Amino acid sequence: MKDDRDRWERTLSDLPLGSGGFGTPTIKKVKERIKMLERRARRRRRAAAASVVALLIAGAVVFRGELTELFTHEEAAKPVISDAETTTLNIMYWDNGGFMSLYGQPFIIRHPSVRFEYSEYPGKSANLLNLTPGIDTFKAQLQKSQADLVQVPLAYLPELSAAGLLKPLDTWMKRDNVSDDSWQTAVKNTVREAGGGGLYGFAPEFTGFALYYNRKLFRENGVPEPTDGMTWAEVMNLAARFEGLKKNEKPVYGVSFGYNSAIWFEANLIGSSQGLRLADAKLKEATVDTPAWTTLWTKLAAGHREGWISNEPALKWEGSVEMKELYAHDPFLNGRSAMTYASSSYLNNISQAGSAMGLGEQDWGVLSPPTDEGARGTDGAFEVPFVFAIPEKSPHADAAWELLKYIMSPSQANRLVRFPHGDSLPTVAADAAADDARSSVFYRAAVDPSRALDAAARNSDPAYKSVAGVVWTEANDRTQNLDDGELDVPALLKALQAKAEQAIRAASAGGQAKTEATP
């Protein structure tokens, strides 16, 4: 049956929206296919029935009570999603077409009578990088919509669940014997902590980071390989041992960060993994010119100056660019970087381009990501971008629950592995991921849930995001044209601190004006 469904799924593509993706002829064919399979099953059952009649008669006296109960039970409850009647589910998701492609189409293959309609996702410019328009805006849209299933940013889950706006899922899970044992543990723990111990949403995907390393380069240069659970200080010290090395007359680096070698980008990436902030939690004070940021920027400046951090010129292009051009600009894929820090999607980059560009299948490995000393062995950049939740006032809550169960099923996880999107991995470990030692590093990642929720809250706050945008734009402007060795870290951080303070004042004034304007 699984193979049959896979063949049907591959046959159907580019389905129209609004009608559930299927016309009447296709629905008829699906139903006929189901009936055909049922007829085959009935023929097999008739053949087996004659064999057991004698046993039933012989056991009638012994199991009289049980047989009476068996043959006098009440009529089975009506299915939640009927094959004969249309079920229309209202979805609030950032991209209607994306929802159909990822979840809607495969669900309709299993339930041809289902239709989808959509509520507007709050925020006119909502996209994968901006799913957080602000909790007040999101809550207002949720309360006025008729959605049956909503995409909720993780940062909003605590307030929405505490306000009673989302249905608890634990009762349904217990009723239907749905287990979360196959979920990535860090995802499960983080989502439960967001709900105060209860489960108010399913997170279908997560993003993790790792330290990728080139075994061949370490071996050839007599440098010990990195290990799991290193700190950023240890990684930087290890990378510094590759200073001055060359391969085919080109520099070899101890560590790189993809095709982008901008120092501000590296500071942002590493600082985020260490939990460093640009402003305090109440957005009252800038925290850019601090000892922690100074240590990080100073080490990065030294690495660029001494040549053990990638100094490749930044890739510039106009319009579209092919992936092979990006791959060609990545020192790690070219076998000239001992280590790189990247997300789980980098596994695809290596698979697609590594061997052809000098990075053989046995030449590399992947380890748990580095972080600060206080959180050694954890993934500080781990992220659960959103959950799917069922609103308390959902008109079709039971049907939405059936959809939610499918979204978190192993078959859907396998589908997401076959057709990956973005940087994310499925929360339910797919068969391929379970069998792949390199993928498994992301499924065994240790995470501090409270730290992950703090990062989610920070990154979803529009005011904090505005401060971060100002700071990193200024950092880019001040560093992009500097030659290696010219960066004055104290002067840079002083300037960035001033920009952050200015942005905080602007955000505070904007928030006060908004409050005064609210009736």
* Domain annotation covers residue 178: yes
Of the candidates 390, 369, 376, 385, the one whose C-alpha atom is nearest the C-alpha of residue 427 is 385
Please give the DSSP secondary-structure letter assigned to residue 353: I
Distances (CA, A) of 241 to 124, 244, 334, 377, 396: 49, 9, 19, 23, 61
Residues 407 and 373 in one domain: no
Give the end of a domain, one of 443, 461, 476. Answer: 443
Residues 156 and 111 in one domain: yes
Do both 139 and 226 map to the same domain?
A: no
pTM: 0.79
Domain count, the chain: 2
Alpha helix positions (H), 309-375: 323-328, 346-349
Residue 336 inside a domain? The answer is yes
> pLDDT tens digits for 150-167?
999 999 999 999 999 999
Out of 443, 477, 495, a domain closes at 443
Are residues 137 and 227 both part of a single domain?
no
Bridge partners, residue 388, by sequence = 151, 202
Q: What is the pLDDT of residues 27-65, one digit of tens each?
A: 444 344 434 444 444 444 444 444 433 333 444 333 333
In the beta sheet, which residues pair with residue 286?
A: 279
430 with 334, same domain: the answer is: no
pLDDT (tens digit per residue) in 255-275: 999 887 799 999 999 999 999
Within-domain flag for 39: no
Render pLDDT for 91-135 as a digit per residue (tens, 0 to 9). Answer: 999 889 999 999 999 999 999 999 999 998 987 554 544 667 889
For residues 179 and 318, membership in a common domain is answered with no
- Residue 146 and residue 199 share a domain: yes
Nearest-angstrom CA–CA distance, 131 and 316: 28
Same domain, 320 and 429: no
One domain, residues 92 and 141: yes
Q: Of the residues 360, 381, 402, which one is the last residue of a structural domain?
A: 381
Arithmetic mean of pLDDT over the chain: 81
In a shared domain, residues 333 and 398 = no
In a domain, 181, yes or no: yes
Give the range of the structural domain holding residue 157, as residue numbers without chain letter: 87-206+383-443
Does residue 472 fall inside a structural domain?
A: no
Same domain, residue pair 244 and 326 = yes
Stretch among 5-19, 210-224, 414-428, 433-447 having the lowest mean pLDDT = 5-19
Is 426 part of a structural domain of the chain? yes
Look up the CATH number of the domain holding residue 215. 3.40.190.10
Identify whether residues 390 and 376 lie together within a single domain. no
Domain for residue 220, yes or no? yes
